Every structure is written in structure tokens, then in C-alpha cells.
Amino acid sequence: MLKFNHDEGHNGMKSTYRDVKSDILSKITKGEWGPGSLMPNEVELAETYGCARATVNRAMRELADDGIVERRRKAGTRVRMAPLRQARFDIPIVRCEIEEKGAAYRYSLVSQTVEDVPDWLRARLKLDAGGRALHLVCMHYADGAPYQHEDRWINLAALPQAETADFREVGPNEWLVSTIPFSDAEISLSAALADKSLSAHLGCGVGAAVFAVERLTWWEGQALTYVRLSYQPGHRLTTRY
């Protein structure tokens, strides 16, 4: 936690609401204050951070506006169970996508490993050298048929709790949406050729043209995750804004 003394922070600079907001957000994203947690009141936070209550109030108002916390009169402030995403589009949840088509959804975790961030990903996410990431490969099925192949990397510097999360029952897609919002996203759509591994998972021929979606997300400048989603030939993407 940032430590302030008599309304002054490091190097004699006065603490600001941005300092308070940043530290509170850090605690939430790292799981110190989990979803649904009741947070200290403004008086307690002002004492902790060594700043005026008005400074804390502004930080908390912005966190509420960002959809991170929920403030209720007389009931206090809690971390939202599912943070709202302040963006012009939602990250789609594949389970809901499949069920809305009237199909039965099934999920399977293929592999889960912690690895050093590869150079190609470090460049894409603008990460420092030496970072670690959680690499997950998953399959999603509709009525028993392959629907989506998910190849995902999660930046453990931003989300260290992902390393111990149980992805055997709930996929990383749903876990991320319920854990942290995003402020920026980059999405690329393309046609790709299925290699031997992808063809086995999707049930198509090697070299078949598959539909691919690459998505990178950030929260206030910090990289969260990169995912490549692959679909069988002929897949049609529909997005509602």
C-alpha cells in the first residue's frame, strides 16, 4: 500500500485522489479485496492514506463510475461481484453465445501452464522482459460439436491470482469478465489455415480455412490478456453493440 504522512506522499508531494484510486484498484485487481468485499469507510481510508476525506471521496466516486465498486447509502461500499466494463462493446461470453443459439454448452480445459512471456507476446502487449504469463488452451462445444478453440495468455503481473484460479470448470473468458473490467481493447479478424493440432480440436482438415479472432485487452495502460479464438470453416460472427 502507498504510505503517506500528513497529507504528503513520496518526495514531499501531496497525495492525490489518483494515488488513492490507483492503490485501491491495485488491491482489487490483485485479489486483496475480492468481489463482494466490504471496503473500509472513507474516514478509515483517509486515515490510512494520510489525506483529506474529500480526496478519498473523489477516488471512490471515480471507481464507482468506472463500475469497479458499488456504493450504497448506509450499507457502505463493496467491490462489485462482476465489474462493469466502461467501453463501447462487451466482451462476449461464449457460453451465453452458444446457449442463445438454443444449443447445449460444454467446456473443456486442454492445458494450463505458467510460462515466461514469449518475445512475440511481450511486443504485442508492451511488457517488460522477464514477465510471466498463464497460458491456457480450452475448447468450447455446442451440442457436443466443436465450436471455439481458445488459446489465451494472461499477464500474471496484472492478475497474479490467475495462477491459482481453477479453470477446470469455468473458462478464463468468464473468469476475466467477472474479475476485472477493461479500458482498452484491440480486435483483429482474419482467415487462417488450420494446423494439425487445430484441425484435431475443431474436427476439420489440415489446411482448412478457419475463422480467427485475436483480442488484446488492457486496464488503464496495463496489459491483461491476449487471446486467439478459432472457429470451424463457415463460422459467422454476429456482434451486438
Q: Is the whole model's pTM more than 0.75, yes or no?
A: no
pLDDT for 87 equals 39
Residue with cell 468485499: 37
pLDDT for 241 equals 47
- DSSP calls for 87-114: SSSPPPPHHHHHHHTTPPEEEEEEEEEE
pLDDT for 65 equals 82
Spatial distance between the Cα atoms of 59 and 52, rounded to a whole number of angstroms: 11
Spatial distance between the Cα atoms of 194 and 59, rounded to a whole number of angstroms: 48
Q: Comparing C-alpha atoms, which of 65, 85, 71, 79 is closest to residue 28?
A: 79
pLDDT for 128 equals 84
pLDDT for 62 equals 86
Cell triple for residue 78? Answer: 463493496
Q: At what angle do helices 53-65 and 17-29 cross, to 10 degrees?
A: 50
Spatial distance between the Cα atoms of 146 and 231, rounded to a whole number of angstroms: 8
pLDDT for 90 equals 57
DSSP, res 10: G
pLDDT for 88 equals 40
pLDDT for 238 equals 67
pLDDT for 83 equals 61
Q: In what order do the strands lie in the sheet with 132-142?
A: 105-116, 132-142, 145-155, 222-231, 209-219, 184-193
pLDDT for 84 equals 55
pLDDT for 8 equals 38
For the chain of 241 residues, list the mean pLDDT of each consecutive stretch of 10. Answer: 38 70 84 87 91 90 85 86 53 85 95 95 88 96 96 94 93 86 84 94 94 90 93 77 47
Q: Where are the alpha helices (DSSP H) in 36-135?
A: 42-49, 53-65, 94-100, 119-125
